[in-house]
Amino acid sequence: MTGSSGGSGGGTRDDRAAHGPAHGRRRAVMEWLDQFRNSPFLPATVLLLILSAMAGLFAGSYTYAMANPTPHQIPTAVVGSSSTPAAESFTRAMEKALNTSLRTRTYDSDAAARHAVEEQEVFAILTFRRAGVTLNVAGAAGASVAEVLTEAAPKAARATGVPVRVSDIKPLQKGDPRGLALFYISLAAVIVGFIGAIQLSVHAKGLDPAERIGFIAANGLLGGFAIAAVVDWQLGAIDLPFAESWSILAFTMFTSGMVFTMFNTLLGRWAMLPTWGLMVLLGNPSSGGAVSWPLLPSLIGHVGRWLPPGASVNAQHTAVYFGESQHAFPFLVLAGWALLSIVVFWSWRHRHPGGRATATADEDRDEGKDRDEDEGRGEGSPA
């Protein structure tokens, strides 16, 4: 009998097509993908994509919040009669120059208006007199706000013919003419706080939960002291109320470290992503440290006060420039985030990739791998 039409020994034409070059290529691709999934190249590639996205978001968040500060209803105290034609026309001209509205509050005296500045309820004082207008700004309340008000006042005077005199009744310290030093030290506390927690999770994995919290607190105390000492004692950039500033920096570092620890408990190795997003991408641009809250986009300005970086800047700023009017709110924000993080970490501490048992298991596994490798090398060596 004759063989099949495909010839002897070669199978049918359909079999050859199924096992031809295309099938071989598909099989090679599937084998390569399988090897890639089980290699270190997959997590490395994923990390590259995530890091590039984070770089773009980092630049975008800061640019969006800080590149073009725009006033949004600047709280302003008014002393004197603001209902005269000259006062009303000057106020309208100021708002036109600022391209926003002044959220005015009327006070009976200069002393009452200055008290409102000390309480950080207003950023400037407009005093209307027959001889003209006095604009008192408070650089320490917000350097960027004082700058835009100072630039707008002469424009309003030229537009209305009403003379204006501008003065700064609460200036910044000489070593910090742009008002950025407090933002930078708060930024350092936030970043070093969670980096310290990261390093503890890597190099001190065997710490039990209570010990981990204790070392995060110790990192805050020592790190906060170092930041305050360098900026004040060594560089002399700004005169800090040392004990209060140190406590704020320490509290900030502790809170930041516990936030990472909370996410590390919930998400394991990916904890850095939400920590970075919350504390750096969103928290720092919205903190009001580099650009005052009235000049930030409205939503960001409101959200920033409820995040640890904004609370830290707020507390530090008040401690340095408005020491007699310190508010509880920023400390409550820091305490709230710290308490939430501790509760989550403690409640799910069995999920945290640390502790004596986990560290011992990891060490045993590493020793097993080393032993297997040694045995493999021994079997492969010449007799």
pLDDT tier, 22 (very low <50, low <70, confident <90, very high otherwise):
confident
**pLDDT (mean) for 158-179:** 91
**pTM for the predicted model, two decimal places:** 0.80
pLDDT at 382: 45
**pLDDT (mean) for 151-164:** 92
pLDDT at 144: 87
Determine the Cα–Cα distance for residues 195 and 280; give it in Å rounded to an integer.
12
Closest C-alpha among 283, 185, 167, 276 to residue 234: 185
pLDDT at 266 over 50: yes
pLDDT at 70 over 80: no
H-run or E-run covering 103: strand 102-107
For 376, how many CA atoms within 13 A lie in the half-sphere containing its CB? 6
* Mean of the per-residue pLDDT values of the chain: 85
Looking at 84-93, 136-145, 368-377, which range is the least confident one? 368-377
Residue bearing the bigger pLDDT, 312 or 303 = 312
pLDDT at 4: 47
Determine the Cα–Cα distance for residues 51 and 262; give it in Å rounded to an integer.
21
| Torsion 116-122-125-126 (CA) sign | negative
For the chain, what percent of residues have pLDDT higher than 70? 85
pLDDT at 44: 81
H-run or E-run covering 132: strand 132-137
Closest C-alpha among 181, 202, 183 to residue 191: 183
pLDDT tier, 381 (very low <50, low <70, confident <90, very high otherwise):
very low
pLDDT at 293 over 50: yes
Closest C-alpha among 165, 65, 157, 79 to residue 114: 79
**pLDDT (mean) for 216-235:** 96
Largest CA distance in the chain: 124
pLDDT tier, 6 (very low <50, low <70, confident <90, very high otherwise):
very low
Q: What is the pLDDT of residues 271-280, one digit of tens each?
A: 999 999 999 9
pLDDT at 367: 56
Question: Per mean pLDDT, which of 51-65, 70-84, 133-147 is the most reliable?
Answer: 133-147
Other beta carbons within 10 Å of 105: 14
User: Which amino acid does the sequence have at 67?
Assistant: A
pLDDT at 194: 96
Question: Per mean pLDDT, which of 6-20, 215-229, 365-379 is the most reliable?
Answer: 215-229
